[in-house]
Amino acid sequence: MLRANTVPVFFRDYVNGQFNQTRRQQRTHDDVQPAKARKVAEGSFVGCSSVAPATTSDAFVVTRSFEFYLKRFLANLLRLRRVIGLVDMDCFYAQVEQRENPELWGKPVIVVQHSRQGVAGGILAVSYEARAFGVKRGQSVVEAKMKCSHLKVCHVPIGEYADKADIQKYRNASAEVFNVLNNFDSSIVIEKASVDEAFLDLTTFVEQNINKWGGDNFTSKSLLPMIPSSHVASGVDAKETDIERRQHLSAFIEACQTDDEQRRLLIAAITIEDIRKRIHEATQFYCSAGIGNNKMMAKLVCARHKPRQQTIVPWQYTKEILKMTPIGDVRGFGGKLGNRIQEKLNVKYMGDILSVNDSWLIESFPDQHEWLRALAKTFPDGVP
């Protein structure tokens, strides 16, 4: 039996919490007497001297449980140490048109695809200048021009066949962006998510460089200029002023001096600021980014301060962020599953799932109820 002085405090607390939370559901070995099994279950699991296995069978229960929680703890620790970024081009199709026609920079622009009848079809992209007038995707060109009379309309080229668009120039522009990403550093793993999005796994890069960041150069005064477009997603950052943004970043940098996990995110943020700058220098295209411990959080916070900005989400704020996040905004929940969750459970935000009765959650999602409950709190095991 492990004593309190034989395991790190953070691991002991983690295992005790997990063990106590699920002890009623633990299956004990067949030859453990019920009374003895209860005695084992009622004590703290790690670092408790008051409860020790009375028999070999009791020890089996504790050992198997310890192995289970050790594996889960290590998996979560490794997942926490991951550093993932998402780079997302801002209104990419519109920027391609603006670069092709420089007089369109700073103007309200939409990109429209021709319909099969040869008339203007749906709006594919809306520049942020056009969005300021209330122009949205899904509107017709006529509706969009009623919102903004000086709107510039760009058409996707028509391909060899009149009923098919030719998007090659957008693919070529995308290739320029990915050329920058792929040549920045070989230790950063690039995963193409779409023509205008890429996930960056910076875990190895950060591990290789973390020792370079510390000491006298690790201060707000020296680091703030290196993250000029960064925000910290804390749950109260949505409408922060620039002064508040800098204050939140300064507090984050201060925490990074004693917390290596947050320091990893900061190093990634500094690196992605540099990557985004290089993309703009090489292509003229602006982009935004999200930085977190997994793809879902990086994706979720990327749009939080668009355009031309990036957002860091420290792990301790994930629960607060998810509490006010619409279910459809979470990666993978924008389609049928997200609609089903909202309709069956009558919820709108991820945090609302926590208030759903256990029996109703199990009945509605028998194979996913534990995962959904954990997801509403923070991202559980198995989330990439």
User: Does residue 31 fall inside a structural domain?
Assistant: yes
Confidence at residue 280, expressed as pLDDT on a 0 to 100 scale: 99
State the Cα–Cα distance between residues 308 and 290, nearest whole angstrom: 11
Claim to verify: residue 112 and residue 216 sit in the same structural domain: no
The sign of the torsion formed by the CA atoms of 220, 80, 200, 329 equals negative
Same domain, 177 and 243: yes
What is the per-residue pLDDT for 50? 41
DSSP helix/strand/coil, 152: strand
pLDDT value at position 324? Answer: 86
Domain boundary among 25, 48, 80: 80
**Sheet of 84-89, strands arranged across:** 189-194, 197-201, 84-89, 287-292, 310-312, 230-232
Examine the domain organization and report whether 146 and 195 are in the same domain.
no
pLDDT at residue 80, rounded to an integer: 53
DSSP, collapsed to helix, strand or coil, labels residue 190 as strand
Q: Is residue 320 part of a domain?
A: no
* pLDDT computed for residue 87 by the predictor: 99
Residues whose CB falls within 8 Å of the CB of residue 117, separated by 6 or more in sequence, listed in order: none
User: What pLDDT does 323 receive?
Assistant: 85
Number of folded domains that form the chain: 4
Low-confidence stretches of the chain (pLDDT < 70) are: 1-80, 115-120, 159-164, 215-217, 377-384
285 and 242 in a common domain: yes
Do residue 199 and residue 302 come from a single domain? yes
Q: Where are the alpha helices (DSSP H) in 289-328?
A: 295-302, 318-323
The confidence score (pLDDT) of residue 20 equals 52
Kindly give, in sequence order, each residue whose CB lies less than 8 Å from that of residue 381, ignoring residues fewer than 6 positions away.
72, 75, 76, 79
Domain assignment present for 130: yes
Residue 319 lies in a domain: no
CATH number for the domain that contains residue 257: 3.30.70.270
Among 16, 46, 80, the domain-final residue is 80
Domain with residue 358: its CATH number is 1.10.150.20
Same domain flag for 175 and 160: no
Domain hosting 293: range is 84-89+170-313
Q: Are residues 113 and 146 in the same domain?
A: yes
Q: Give the Cα separation of 135 and 128 in Å (integer).
A: 9
Residue 114 within any structural domain of the chain: yes
Cα 286 to its chain centre, rounded Å, is 20
Q: Verify that 215 and 335 share a domain, yes or no.
A: no
Q: What is the pLDDT of residue 1?
A: 42
Asked if residue 144 belongs to a domain, the reply is: yes
- Burial, 171: exposed, middle or buried (Cβ in 10 Å; 0-12, 13-18, 19+)? exposed
175 and 309 assigned to the same domain? yes
Tell me the two tokens of residue 156.
């996707």
Q: What is the pLDDT of residues 39-50, one digit of tens each?
A: 433 444 444 444
CA distance 249 to 47: 38
Indicate if 308 and 175 belong to the same structural domain: yes
Locate 273 and state its tokens.
Answer: 């600021």
- Residue 136 sits in the same domain as residue 35: no
CA distance 76 to 251: 25
- Give the CATH number of the domain where residue 121 resides: 3.40.1170.60
Domain boundary among 116, 132, 164: 164
Residue 318 confidence (pLDDT): 86
In sequence order, what are the residues at sequence separation of 6 or more whose Cβ sits closer than 8 angstroms to the Cβ of residue 12?
A: 2, 4, 46, 47
Which sequence positions are flagged as catalytic?
A: 197
In a domain, 366, yes or no: yes
76 found inside a domain: yes
Residues 307 and 186 both lie in one domain: yes
